[in-house]
Amino acid sequence: MGFEGYVDVVRKLTRRFSLFYAPIYENMKDHGEGALASADVVHPNDAGHHAIFDAFTNADRS
């Protein structure tokens, strides 16, 4: 809980400074709590790596 606040700040900073933003957190969260994490619950599993890849390749670059 509360992590969304950090994500929101990063998103705002990327807009302010015209930086690229890939919605990695949002993509990971859409799959459910921990579903894309390895056994250590910190690092992504193979499906998690795929979700990160998708976040970058499908991000809005405008």
Q: Model confidence over 34-59: pLDDT tens digits? A: 899 999 988 999 999 999 999 999 88
Distance CA 49, CA 29 (A): 13
- pLDDT (mean) for 12-35: 89
pLDDT at 41: 84
What does the DSSP 8-state code read for residue 59?
A: S
Question: At 29, is the pLDDT very low, low, confident or very high (cuts 50, 70, 90)?
Answer: confident
Domain residue extents for the chain:
3-57
Question: At 33, is the pLDDT very low, low, confident or very high (cuts 50, 70, 90)?
Answer: confident
